[in-house]
């Protein structure tokens, strides 16, 4: 800020006062120079500090770094992630949500803590439960760290996405889950889901359809071995009374042998792929889930608890050929119809479900096209779609 100086007039007083003014001016200039120098040094140190913090928070896989800023402004460096702005449009009406952190897919891991924090902040306004699909790219630890920093009431069903031809994929994720449990404990972990649509993929790859066939039994044996190994890991941590072990698959592809080996089963039930209308979708989901999953599971000796792992409605298609399922269009309006018909009815009936899904996922669109990437309640940038969330408490 510039300084202003005044000259004094009149005789000897003029000369003396002018000299005093000159000295005073010199002193002020010196002081100002020192002040400016200190300000520049201080500003440089401050800039270095914030840049170093931003760099640290952006590193992939870090569970202890400070959350970085994003364009929403709700999460900033140095802020308290537990003190975030609530969106009045969001209501805690969902039993659970299906969730995959952005950048949590091998081999291109890029999941960031600040993004997971933002996701948890949003999802915690809709539900107290989420389910993950896998454990690669440090996503288990990132999610548990985000819950720790946001201090929200959230239970997580961890996931281990396994493949039949490479058991190292299972082992890698098992070890990541074990490390996360050793670090964070099990206060926010409800279960570990071993396998997602494993039997569907195994049978399809072997040109078979029946999970009780010889081929199905071969696939079930692979899956059961990983389930049993997960139980041993949980027991070694003395968490068997806290953490349940389950399995997730397509609704028609559960193996009885597998279901008899788990505490719970999660069933993917999508009316879209059954070519129903949006209006008929919710009743179809309830009927299919009860007849195909709940009733058969109740006849097994262990009576595993059955959940709907996925159900929802796509809001668009990347190509015109898949924009209609034969009954209704993929659209935000039809997602609203399904929400209105499904959520409160499921809550009232005590159906455990994980709505599919939190937000659109670009990688699915890139890989598969059609409607695959467009099932989110939120757009890919975490903005809520033009939806009205149903107003009814979950069970």
79 confidence band (pLDDT: 50, 70, 90): confident
Q: Per-residue pLDDT tens for 150-169?
A: 999 999 999 999 999 999 99
Lowest mean pLDDT among 41-50, 56-65, 362-371: 56-65
Q: How far apart are CA 3 and CA 312, in angstroms?
A: 67
- pLDDT, residue 18, reads 34
Q: Across residues 236-262, what is the average pLDDT?
A: 97
Helices (H), the chain: 11-57, 113-123, 139-150, 167-184, 198-205, 214-236, 256-259, 278-289, 295-298, 332-349, 362-368
Q: Across residues 21-37, what is the average pLDDT?
A: 37
> CB of 125 within 8 A of CB of 87?
yes
Q: How far apart are CA 395 and CA 145, in angstroms?
A: 26
Q: How far apart are CA 46 and CA 179, in angstroms?
A: 35
What are the φ and ψ backbone dihedral angles of 83, each rounded to 5 degrees? -110, 85
pLDDT for 22 beyond 80: no
What's the first-to-final CA gap in the chain, in angstroms?
A: 62
pLDDT for 339 beyond 60: yes
> CB of 71 within 8 A of CB of 153?
no
pLDDT for 78 beyond 90: no
- pLDDT, residue 103, reads 95
- pLDDT, residue 244, reads 98
More confident residue, 26 or 188: 188
Q: How far is CA 239 from CA 142, 189, 379, in A?
A: 20, 10, 37
pLDDT for 171 beyond 70: yes
Angle between helices 139-150 and 113-123 (to 10 degrees): 60
- pLDDT, residue 195, reads 98
% the chain with pLDDT above 90: 79
DSSP codes joined into one string, 213-235: SHHHHHHHHHHHHHHHHHHHHHH
What the block records as the tokens of 385 is: 């779609």
Q: For 106-130, give the secondary structure using H, E and C.
A: CCCCCCCHHHHHHHHHHHCCCCCEE
% the chain with pLDDT above 70: 80
Cis peptide before 116 (omega within 30 of 0): no
350 confidence band (pLDDT: 50, 70, 90): very high
Q: Per-residue pLDDT tens for 83-97?
A: 999 999 999 999 999
363 confidence band (pLDDT: 50, 70, 90): very high
Helices (H), 58-184: 113-123, 139-150, 167-184
Q: Would you state the torsion angle of the CA atoms of residues 174, 178, 179, 182, taken in this order, to the nearest 10 degrees?
A: 170
| Range ranked top by mean pLDDT from 8-22, 24-38, 241-255 | 241-255
More confident residue, 369 or 15: 369
Cis peptide before 107 (omega within 30 of 0): yes
- pLDDT, residue 189, reads 98
Q: How far apart are CA 311 and CA 357, in angstroms?
A: 8
46 confidence band (pLDDT: 50, 70, 90): very low
Name the nearest CA neighbour of 249 among 257, 241, 237. 257
Q: Per-residue pLDDT tens for 328-338?
A: 999 999 999 99
- pLDDT, residue 318, reads 97
Q: How far is CA 193 from CA 52, 94, 237, 330, 345, in A?
A: 38, 20, 17, 29, 26
| Summary mean pLDDT of the chain | 85
What the block records as the tokens of 137 is: 């790219």
pLDDT for 49 beyond 80: no
CB neighbours (10 Å) of residue 385?
A: 15
Q: Match 């999508």 to its residue by tokens.
A: 270
């Amino acid at each position: 800020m510039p300084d202003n100086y005044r000259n004094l007039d009149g005789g000897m007083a003029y000369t003396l006062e002018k000299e005093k003014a000159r000295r005073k001016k010199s002193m002020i200039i010196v002081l100002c120079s020192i002040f400016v120098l200190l300000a520049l040094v201080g500003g440089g140190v401050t800039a270095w500090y914030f840049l170093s913090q931003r760099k640290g928070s952006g590193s992939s896989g870090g569970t202890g770094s400070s959350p970085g800023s994003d364009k929403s402004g709700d999460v900033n460096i140095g802020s308290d992630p537990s003190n975030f702005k609530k969106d009045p449009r969001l209501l805690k009406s969902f039993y659970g949500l299906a969730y995959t952190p952005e950048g949590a897919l091998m081999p291109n891991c890029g999941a960031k803590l600040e993004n997971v924090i933002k996701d948890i902040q949003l999802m915690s306004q809709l539900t107290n439960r989420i389910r993950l699909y896998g454990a690669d790219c440090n996503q288990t630890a990132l999610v548990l760290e985000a819950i720790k920093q946001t201090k929200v009431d959230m239970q997580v069903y961890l996931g281990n996405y396994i493949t039949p031809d490479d058991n190292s994929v299972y082992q890698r994720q098992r070890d990541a889950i074990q490390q996360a449990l050793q670090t964070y404990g099990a206060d926010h972990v409800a279960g570990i889901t071993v396998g997602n649509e494993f039997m569907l993929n195994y049978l399809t790859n072997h040109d078979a359809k029946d999970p009780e066939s010889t081929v199905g039994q071969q696939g079930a044996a692979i899956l059961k071995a990983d389930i049993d190994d997960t139980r041993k890991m949980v027991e070694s941590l003395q968490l068997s009374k806290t953490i349940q072990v389950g399995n997730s698959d397509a609704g028609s592809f559960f193996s009885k042998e597998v279901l008899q080996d788990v505490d719970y089963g999660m069933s993917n039930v999508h009316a879209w792929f059954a070519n129903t209308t949006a209006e008929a979708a919710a009743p179809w989901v309830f009927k299919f889930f009860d007849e195909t999953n709940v009733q058969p599971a109740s006849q097994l000796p262990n009576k595993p608890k059955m959940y709907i792992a996925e159900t929802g409605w796509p809001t668009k298609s990347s190509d015109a050929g898949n924009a209609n399922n034969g009954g209704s269009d993929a659209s935000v309006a039809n997602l609203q119809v399904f929400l209105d018909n499904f959520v409160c009815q499921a809550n009232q009936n005590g159906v455990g479900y994980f709505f599919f899904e939190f937000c659109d996922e670009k990688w699915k669109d890139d890989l598969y096209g059609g409607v695959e990437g467009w099932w989110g309640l939120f757009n890919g940038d975490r903005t809520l779609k033009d939806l009205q969330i149903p107003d009814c408490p979950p069970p």
